[in-house]
A = this chain, B = another copy of it.
Amino acid sequence: LAKFSWKSPVVVVKVIDSVLRGIAQVAFGNNPLTGLLILIGLFVGNVYSGLGAILCSLTAIFTAKVLNWQDDAVAAGHSNFNAVLIGTVTTALYPSVFGEAMPLPVWGYMVIAAVFTVCVMGGLGRIMEGHNIPALTLPFNIAVSTTFLCMKMAGYGTTTDSPSADLVAEEAIHWGQVFRGTLLAAGHVWAVEDVACSCLVYLALFIFSPILALASYVGAALGTFSGLLVSSSPYAAVYHGVWGYNGFLAAGSISFFMVPNPRILLLAAINAVFATFIQSALNPVYAANGLPVFTFPFCLASVLMLAAAMASGPPSLRVGNPTFP
């Protein structure tokens, strides 16, 4: 597709290809089929998330072209994978964070946030490129935190009373539910909780790279089990997969950006645990401003661990494609 200009009629195919790759890039896949399966999963889990992903992707691709990004970066979905998350996460989390159904103007804020992600990706990417580290989904985290706080300041949402402490003192851990949590974690990357969606994500990743799919699953499992260490009973959040998605991404990122060897895989495992610890630590900090932690724990842990992986020993090679314009 790279041969065709962005001005020819083929542009529609190129844009669809880029949208699908962007959806897959969130989990480090660079393959339109992978993206398509995940998109189907999103629609199965939450129709609005699917629509949000498409709307924000198109906004991001348009912005990137106007800002003169390089063709190959746009084609690979690097300009829009952060916008995908704006679309899925805002639509999925708005009701729980703001305590009301999502009103129409929020779609406008999503478009603005999608424009921001492209600019921040350009800037942050360039700064971090100097250290040979990818910007991951930091642009999404910056844009979504900013926009959510702005919407609160603009008067959106009802003043949610903090829920009364649950008196359920259920101590026993349901291991079957924990296993279900490791599966559900995959969908939580896009903030969608649905078994079918999660299965499609794993299938889609497996098509792109079996190693990546396996590493991501092990990461999700490590994160979920760490969740038992860093939260207190009742462990509902563990069973719902909420403790696994940072581990999923953390292990996946190390496996994807570095050539796997035993030492790298050990670092990937440590990173999954580290990201989950950070998730637990940042939860109350973000909650003080009424925000969930999004994927920031994964970003923080992985930036440090990718640098550590590159630092220790020569036999590992960075295999990432150029992510920046």
Contact = CB atoms under 8 A, between A and B. Distances in A.
Query: Is chain A's interface secondary structure helix, strand, loop, or mixed overall?
Result: helix
Contacts of A104: none
Contacts of A123: 303-309, 311
Contact of A270 (B119, B131, B154, B313): B119
* Identical subunits present: 3
A116 B250 CA distance: 14
Contacts of A263: 66-68
B324 A150 contact: no
Interface in A259-275: 263, 266-267, 270-271, 273-274
A234 to B, nearest CB: 11
Interface stretch (A9-17, A175-183, A279-287): A279-287
Nearest to A64: B312
Interface stretch (A141-149, A195-203, A207-215): A141-149
Interface in A114-155: 115-116, 119-127, 130-131, 133, 142, 145-150, 152-155
A312 B64 CA distance: 9
A150 B229 contact: yes
Interface string A86-121: 000000000000000000000000001001100111
Nearest to A300: B142
A313 B230 contact: no
Given A153-B230, A154-B229, A274-B116, A307 B67 contact: no
Among A124, A146, A267, max chain B CB count under 10 A is at: A146
A311 B284 contact: no
Interface string A287-325: 011000000000000011111111111000000000011
Given A127-B133, A311-B324, A153 B284 contact: yes
B281 A231 contact: no
A98 to B, nearest CB: 14
Contact of A119 (B119, B154, B308): B308
Among A123, A271, A273, A274, max chain B CB count under 10 A is at: A123
Nearest to A316: B68
A81 interface: no
Among A67, A133, A304, max chain B CB count under 10 A is at: A304
A312 B229 contact: no
Given A67-B263, A68-B263, A153-B284, A273 B112 contact: yes
13 contacts: A67-B312, A119-B267, A119-B271, A119-B304, A119-B308, A120-B304, A120-B308, A123-B305, A127-B307, A146-B280, A149-B284, A150-B230, A153-B283
